[in-house]
Amino acid sequence: MRSDNKDETKYILKLLFTLIIAIVAISFAYSLAKPDIYGESRLTTLDYIPVEKAIKNKDYNEAYELLQAMCKQKGIKWNLYLRYYTYFGACKLFDDGNYKAAYENFDKIRGFRDVDSFYKKEEYEYLKLCGTWYMVDSQINADFILSISGKQMVVTTIEYGYYDTQTNEISFTLIKKDNKYIMQQSDGQCDYYLTFFGSKLELREYDTGSLIGTFVCEDAE
């Protein structure tokens, strides 16, 4: 009787062991064979490991070359990966601070990879400022040209005298607070801020709110 129980226990353990091995094997096979998250292809999740590593290191050129080489090796048409090409380019532009061009590319591939997360980043709040703004209405005897890229802005001041014209450039970092973009100088001083009035941009004194000038963007559509 005791021998029968022992044999039965061995049988059950062997069956469980076989079942576990089968489950592990099936799971492993599925992980290798399942379609990648980027669309239908003959590339597997395992193939993407070096690509993902390059993306994590923000080496988008290497990621691009790796993916292109894999497509060529497996006879996959590269045009199936145009979203990837756009994604790599947009990420590179974003890292370089060229937010306007970056988001123009991100707009083409919304929903792809982590693209939608870029629209939650602080940089997106500054996107509508990007461009060159020219003064169309001034309250002082000077003109300003605002060159804005992301949070960085260069103000070109043109002062008109009786006999000559003086030009000067000052750099600012923009800090968004409510509906204002505060202009902070390198020493931390904040004397002015920008705010939108329709499609135009207004330059105002920080303490009093007095209007200095109104601007339009030459890059506006």
What DSSP string describes 83-151? HHHHHHHHHHHHHTT-HHHHHHHHGGGTTSTTHHHHTTSGGGGGGGG-EEEEEEEESSSEEEEEEEETT
Cβ neighbours of 63 (radius 10 Å)? 23
Q: How far does CA 15 lie from the centroid of its chain?
A: 52
| 25 backbone dihedrals φ, ψ, rounded to 5° | -65, -45
User: pTM, whole model, 2 decimals?
Assistant: 0.54
pLDDT tens, position by position, for the chain (221 residues)?
A: 445 555 666 666 666 666 666 565 555 444 444 444 444 456 666 777 888 888 888 888 888 888 888 877 777 766 667 788 888 889 888 888 788 888 888 998 888 888 999 888 877 878 888 889 998 876 666 788 999 887 889 999 887 766 777 888 999 999 988 889 999 998 999 999 999 988 899 999 999 999 988 999 876 44
Return the pLDDT at 146: 92
Answer CATH for 128-217 from 2.40.50.140, 2.40.128.50, 2.70.70.10, 2.40.160.40: 2.40.128.50
Return the pLDDT at 10: 64
Residue 44 DSSP label = B
Residue boundaries of the structural domains of the chain: 34-120, 128-217
